[in-house]
Amino acid sequence: MRKIQLFDKISHGLSITEELEAKIDREDYELYIKNYRIRKYISKGAFGSVYKGFNSNDNREVAIKLIDIDQMYSKNQSEEVREKLRRYLRTEEILLKKCHSANVIKLYDVMQNDRCKVLVLEYCNGGGLDSYIKDHGPTEESDAVIILRQIILGLAVSGFLFRNCIVIE
């Protein structure tokens, strides 16, 4: 079996998305970013894709969020829009680093070069809240209260909830 370090290849001009799509389902490759082995595609978001993987040091399941910076910025975007996108990515990382709650996924590792940003996150086998709502439809009020309570507890424990307002940095 051939091991491929994708993060090294990104810095040499290859698109991580193209590399993954070409090799993710092949049995003769093991795809890695640092010590994280990428196993299967989970979903696509606004700025990139999420894959299930494993930390090869301790075999812990992880979610690997790959953000293709080249794809994120379209050629005709203003610098103002690009700066807002950069701020959004920084804010997501900062919030996840500061949140230490059972109700918020953990951020294990961050890597970045000029073409790609990688967030290694706690793997949740049930999916995210958006998947839950897609699969189950609108929630009953009693379920919504439980979900909202978990969100508020996550923010409160992490120090982002002050009295009656939420502070986003």
- Domain boundaries of the chain, sorted by first residue: 2-124
Tell me whether residue 78 is exposed, middle or buried, using C-beta atoms within 10 angstroms of its C-beta: 0 to 12, 13 to 18, 19 or more.
Answer: exposed
d(CA 125, CA 86): 29
**What does the pLDDT read at residue 23?**
67
**What does the pLDDT read at residue 168?**
45
- Is CATH 3.30.200.20 the classification given to domain 2-124? yes
**What does the pLDDT read at residue 69?**
78
**What does the pLDDT read at residue 141?**
92
**What does the pLDDT read at residue 11?**
47
**What does the pLDDT read at residue 159?**
65
Which residues in the chain come in under a pLDDT of 70? 7-23, 25-27, 74-76, 157-169
- Six-digit token pair at 62? 């992880």
Dihedral sign, Cα of residue 68, residue 121, residue 85, residue 135: positive
- Contact, 85 vs 72, CB < 8 A? yes
CA distances from 111 to 70, 71, 99, 100 (A): 16, 17, 19, 20
